[in-house]
């Protein structure tokens, strides 16, 4: 899909050719539209090289750890971290944001490694969960200081590691609240504010996981998952609106939240409804699920959104498999159900096409 500015340029050429817009205004209109940042091959290789360099530094220090005096070890960690931070500040001052981002990301990784290595130097017994949380908070602090999306991604990863370390996430109402409840929305805000695709994908998945944690704290009933599906659908609608406003990478949240809404709705169909024991939604739920998946597919095609379209297709396939399982592979009954769905889809498509032609 072409960038927004490229589409406007094509539209302007068509409008100028049709006499709707003066040709001398073309340059002025295009100048008001900012360029869309793209991750080219050189930038991608720079990111890979920078991260591998950081890992190589950590591995080299670790390989020579036992043969190095304690003070030298500690000084090495401090100097490496400060050098990376200073290098990032210099790159930012020289208006090289990619280099600044890479250096600060490597600095966050070095700081995370330094927590464990410092404890080893001075024989300090620590809590692995606290170490992961400390590294995550430090990475977010570096991200805020240098507008580093890479550091924010590192912070999100270490917060997740802290949540999964010595913790029972799905232990019911007595389980502790994970730090991801704060880190996920913060990462989503930074992803939208700074326009980061990788951070947007990671934070969207983290938000869906937070919804799952909330569901696990409650009774396993369909009503809870149905409520979560509606809430996630509302968030998907909000992300779709932001995408229409040309907000960078809002479409990523649109796609993942749509997937989350269908996921929670699908799970709801296999849980007890209205307090009944061992009673799921049955075939009626599968039909609604199939219809909702078809609606998502149509919406994805309408919005020209690849992820939403793919979610709709995948959900249709899973819904069909679930329906066939419920029908006990009765092909005649399955044919009747799918015939009804096909007729409904054809009628809906005909109505939409008629409305579009009338408009």
Q: What is the DSSP string of 55-121?
A: HHHHHHHHHTSTTS-HHHHHHHHHHHHHHHHHHHHHHHHTT-HHHHHHHHHHHHHHHHHHHHHHHHH
pLDDT at 222: 78
Q: Show the domain range for 9.
A: 1-36
Q: Which residue has the tokens 């190095």?
A: 68
The residue among 200, 218, 236 that closes a domain is 218
pLDDT at 162: 82
CB-based burial label for 273 (10 Å; 0-12, 13-18, 19+): middle
pLDDT at 109: 83
pLDDT at 121: 53
The residue among 218, 243, 275 that closes a domain is 218
Q: 3-state DSSP call for residue 269? A: coil
Q: What does the pLDDT look like over 48-75, one tens digit per residue? A: 776 677 677 666 666 655 666 667 767 7
Mean pLDDT for each 10-residue chunk of the chain (359 residues)?
A: 61 77 74 58 66 68 62 76 85 81 84 70 61 85 86 88 67 64 89 84 91 77 85 92 81 92 88 60 81 88 86 86 72 67 71 65
Shared domain check, 72 and 31:
no
d(CA 152, CA 201): 12
Ramachandran angles phi, psi of 218, nearest 5°: -105, 180
Shared domain check, 255 and 187:
no
The total number of structural domains that make up the chain: 3
Shared domain check, 206 and 84:
yes
Shared domain check, 44 and 187:
yes
Give the rounded distance of the alpha carbon of 221 from its chain centre.
27
Q: What does the pLDDT look like over 282-320, one tens digit per residue? A: 778 888 888 898 889 888 888 888 888 888 888 888 888
Shared domain check, 42 and 143:
yes
Shared domain check, 68 and 192:
yes
Shared domain check, 10 and 42:
no
Shared domain check, 350 and 289:
yes
The residue among 218, 246, 265 that closes a domain is 218
Shared domain check, 189 and 86:
yes
CB-based burial label for 261 (10 Å; 0-12, 13-18, 19+): buried
**Phi-psi region at 216: left, alpha or beta (left = phi > 0; alpha = psi -120 to 50):** alpha
Shared domain check, 2 and 118:
no
**What's this model's pTM, rounded to 2 decimal places?**
0.72
Shared domain check, 342 and 278:
yes
Shared domain check, 263 and 150:
no
């Amino acid at each position: 899909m072409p960038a927004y500015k490229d589409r406007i340029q094509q539209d302007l050429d068509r409008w100028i050719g049709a006499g709707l817009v003066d040709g001398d205004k073309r340059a002025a209109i295009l100048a008001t539209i900012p360029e869309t940042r793209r991750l080219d091959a050189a930038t991608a290789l720079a990111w890979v090289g920078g991260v591998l360099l950081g890992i190589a530094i950590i591995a080299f220090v670790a390989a020579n750890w036992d043969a190095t005096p304690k003070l030298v070890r500690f000084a090495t960690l401090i100097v490496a971290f400060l050098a990376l931070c200073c290098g990032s500040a210099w790159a930012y001052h020289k208006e090289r944001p990619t280099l600044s981002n890479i250096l600060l990301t490597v600095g966050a990784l070095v700081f995370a490694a330094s927590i464990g290595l410092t404890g080893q130097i001075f024989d300090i017994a620590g809590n692995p969960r606290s170490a992961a949380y400390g590294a995550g908070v430090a990475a977010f602090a570096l991200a805020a200081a240098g507008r580093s999306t890479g550091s924010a991604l590192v912070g999100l990863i270490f917060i997740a590691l802290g949540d999964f370390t010595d913790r029972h996430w799905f232990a019911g109402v007595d389980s502790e609240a994970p730090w991801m409840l704060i880190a996920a929305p913060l990462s989503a805000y930074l992803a939208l504010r700074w326009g980061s695709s990788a951070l947007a994908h990671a934070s969207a998945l983290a938000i869906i996981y937070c919804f799952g944690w909330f569901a696990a704290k409650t009774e396993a009933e369909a009503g809870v998952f149905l409520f979560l599906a509606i809430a996630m659908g509302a968030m998907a609608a909000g992300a779709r609106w932001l995408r229409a406003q040309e907000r960078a990478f809002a479409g990523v949240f649109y796609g993942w939240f749509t997937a989350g809404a269908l996921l929670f709705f699908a799970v709801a169909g296999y849980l007890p409804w209205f307090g009944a024991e061992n009673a799921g939604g049955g075939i009626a739920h599968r039909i609604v699920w199939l219809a909702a998946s078809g609606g998502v597919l149509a919406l994805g095609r309408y919005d020209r959104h690849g992820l939403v379209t793919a979610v709709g297709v995948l959900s249709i396939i899973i819904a069909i498999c679930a329906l066939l399982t419920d029908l006990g592979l009765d092909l005649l009954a399955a044919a009747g159900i799918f015939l009804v769905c096909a007729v409904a889809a054809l009628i809906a498509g005909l109505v939409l096409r008629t409305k579009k032609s009338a408009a």
